Structure 1
Amino acid sequence: MKRPKHEDAPGSESLLVEAQDTKPIRSRARKGGLSLLPTISLDVLFEIFGFLKPLDLLNLARTSKAFRNLLMRKSNAFIWRASRSLIPNLPECPSDLSEPQYACLAFDPHCYRTELSWNRFQHHLAVSSKILRAVSENPYKVRRFTEMIQTSQYEALSLRLNGLDCAEQTLVIEETKKAVRAIREVRHISLAGFKIVNDVALKHADACKAWLSGVNRARSDELHQIREGRKRIIKEWLETEGWKPEIDYHTWWKISKHRAIKDSRPLTARIWSRIRPILTEYMLEMRTIRMEETLYNSRRRILLQAWNDFLAEPASFPNTDVDVLPHVADVARFKPFDDIIKLPAHVVVERDTFLPAFVALPNLVRNWRRQVDQQLAAIITNGYPKEYAPVGDIRQLATSVFVCNACEQLFFWIDAVAHNCSLDFPRGSSKERNDSFKEQVARIAYYSLGSSPWSPKFRSSTVLAIHVIRSCCQDPRTATLTHMDSTSTPFYCFACHPDGKTVMHWRKGVCSAFLVSLLVSETFAARTQSLTQQSSFRS
């Protein structure tokens, strides 16, 4: 029984048409086009092959069996000779190679014998030339030596093979043995006749070397011309966009080192659309560096002089109600001062120009100190054990002890804020430093002011302070610096002075405990290293 036909709902046909219209139309690929080429007339195929280069013929011969049978047939060697004639100054095919073998050796970058991707042609020329010269000079010595080859580490025929891997050494050994077998086969030929054949091979190898050197030189010149043309176009565009002051200051030699400028690919519309934002961002960085070195540095030195004058006259210095003042490197980053430093170049900045900014200094310093305390509090909080939760103002607790990562000294809260290592620029080897744009700008400001903005370089030593405070019969959660100093509980360390004659203050005790822990850790590391070295020597 057939199902009854139902009429479509109104508007369903239009919806179907819209859905079909929105579906992307994909072109159908043409199949089997290349397989029809062997069916074309041979005269037409040979005419087409005459315009192909040897590497194109090699790739075409690997597409199908029909092309391979056609191109690899010995009677069709004229196709390869016609293709080879398209290569200027290429030497003729040697007698010991077929035309396809010669084309594969000269143009195919992949070596199917050693399964390596390298320049076979250049390596073949170097090895063959040395072997042939050695055979020509003393063939019997080569025969005696090659019969003893059983290892991969040797020097034969002035061929230094230490830099080759096993596959390449095997290739050299086979080439040497092939030359020796050739000597055995032509024993009946006089040595003079053999030298004639050898000289012909050497001349062909030298001609191939000269051709290869010319090809490499021509390719190098071509890439150089492309790079220079690309640089010239980019330089003209940069000067048109107003970046000439940066080019004159940094020199075009330095700017052209950017990877988007020194690339060897010709400029196209697609490449232009991609590198324009990159070049604009790069030139903005170059402009910032130029302004930092030529304009902002001199204004920072004026600020440094004004800051020193204010510090020398406390009466004229505004009341900030803080115990530690920031360094001038931090003051230069405050917004009122930074705005004056980065005024346009035509504005003259003098010492009195910074006076309005000093009016807002009290609030700026308070905000700076608040941020410093927050960073130090985060370090101390992370160093607390789980069972000890700080109670009260963490800045006043006796457990707030820091250790400098740079100088390995122990500090309490106030001393940590004023520690000099927090103002040093990060130093290290050139490989460890990150030469980013921000770090370059920070380094320029550092050399102009003699310091970098305050940055914590501490780790928490709360655990040691807890042990010392507990030995004084105090609660580490609530003990403050004032309370510990007022109680002044004396104690001594059994590890340093077992006799108990040396009595210490609790602050000195924290320092002593830190030094003992540091000494023990270094001694343990030294012993571990010495034991590791001994075990390695024994093994």
Structure 2
Amino acid sequence: MSLRRSSRLAVCKDAAIPAVLKETDNAQLGRKSQAENTRSHKRRRTTANTGKKGRKAVRVPSSTLPLHDLPLDLLFEVVGYLDPTSLLHLSRVSRALHNTLMSRSSQWLWRNSYANSKHELPPAPDDLTIPKFVGFVIDEVCDFCRTLMPKKAKVSRIWQARMRCCSECLEDREHFVNINNFGKIKFIQDVLRWLGKDFSLGTLLPGSDTSGSNYPTRHDVPLVVLERLASDFARDNKRKSVEQKKRWLMDRVSALDKVKQHADICRTWEGDVWYKQLEETMELRQKRLNAILDKMTILGYEEEAENICNRSAFYEHPLVKKVQPLTSRGTSCSSILLSIAASEVLLAHSRPEEWFRIRDPLLRLAKELSAKVAEEVKRRAYGDRYRDVWHVYEEYLDGKSRQTHPSIGDLVNFKEINNLIYKTPMDKDLSPLEKEDICAVIDEVARMRFSEWRTRCETALVALLADKFKNWDRKATAADLHLAVSVFSSEDDKWHWWYPEVLTIDGRPLDMHMWALTEEEEEDLTPQRRQMDAFSADVFHVNADRVRSAARLVKLAGLHPSTATVDDMDARDPWFAGAYKKRDRNTYGLHVMTWRKAAQELWGSEDIVLVSSEDTDLARTMRDEWRAQSSRPFRGGLRLPALEKKKTRGH
């Protein structure tokens, strides 16, 4: 039966009005009724020019007003072409659009948009609606402190818990607790009592998994998640048995397992997006760098552009590092659709091309970096020449005594060698020195400079001895350098040398003599650095106590300190030890040393004795065996074996 006209009107009158239309229509009806029913009131007379400014009218944006006037079917037809991200932004334009697009009856629109548009978002989960999930993915708001992150900062998404967190809140113990620190919480104690102590709480409590090279994987659970789980458990398990409670907990474990599977997919998607954005950023920066270098080449700065193309200082400059192509700014492609006059006006008020604004500072930086590159290339060329001279000089010293010849540091300080390295003109291709030229200069320097160099070094060493030998009946001379008591020590008294081996010690730090030079030290080929490789008497001193100790050793060996040379002591080859008892020697063995080792180890000690001839012969035999079997140099000390077995008590 058809309804009467009055009934149909009543039904239409009480019908629900769409939210998207309700706000606009009610506003229009309200304005109309107010205009008809409100009586005009008399206004109070005021004087002109009171000096008070009236309130400016606020203009409400009307960009979405046409959408308010559309019927629902047309509205859904229009927004149906949007991707989920754009649809979410549209729902936040006004309250009317939000109520319409977020209503339960509009969920089909989100499902169609998610399935049919190209949004590059991860798959939607089953435990969240699509609008909530899209907002969770694209919004950069911390769910704990409600802070909107800036562009350069990103929130950390805890995909298992469906929560976002900033870096500060993630480390805040008021918001997160480690899964290993749940022992005192009663709810957790009950769970472990019902499900067993070996039950993994990570399967029940979603959280954030972080790992590092210095610590194992850490599972942090938001406290709000723990409180929510405990509240749900208390609500759903009143007056229930233990088996029902266990079943409820295992259902939560199963549900969380599905969430974790989706979280793994989302984390993979997040990593792919990060790498993709990084590649796009690097590509844009490289294009901008290439465009800047092309502009410099056009302006005649081809050499500077070539020198700085791989310089990080230029690439990291803020004007170069911008993630933005080098294009003209302020002009619009739509200006070609305007009239000629309108286009001229638009171009006249547009900003100049970006290159003209950044050109001057970048060109200044390019010139500075280009000069540094040229200097570095020249320095490396000098380094190659230095190494060439070094290798040729090593061949020259082959078969000669290095103790009586200058080191490479002294060699390059001679004027002839220095001019060969630093004053020889360089071709454009920086060609190396010829070996014949190097050999000729070394032969000339050896004939003219080596004897002068040795005399200068001996004079400096004699000056060190003169202060310690002033109590002798004569002055120190160059002949005294050969004495066994002429011991030259390092400034810290850790290292000791005799003449002429002391001439091989240069001015580098002493620990650098024990190891090979690093690559950076090899590359440091400046004249100031190589000056350290030359001999310098300033790094030595003569210790009076060590001189007296050496004199005592010479006397024990049967020689006189004022005449015994280093060669005399080496030829006699005496062995020494600290004072010992014969019984201890036979039972425990004996630590013996050569005279050089004893002068270094036992200086200042009066308990120095010359070992017996039998022990001396045994020590020499053991030293020869060491040298025959080991590739390491003999350091001057060894332990003689015991002559009889140590007596032990029986059990």
Give the TM-score taking structure 2 as reference length: 0.40
- Greater Rg over alpha carbons, structure: 2
> Which structure shows the bigger proportion of residues in helix conformation?
1
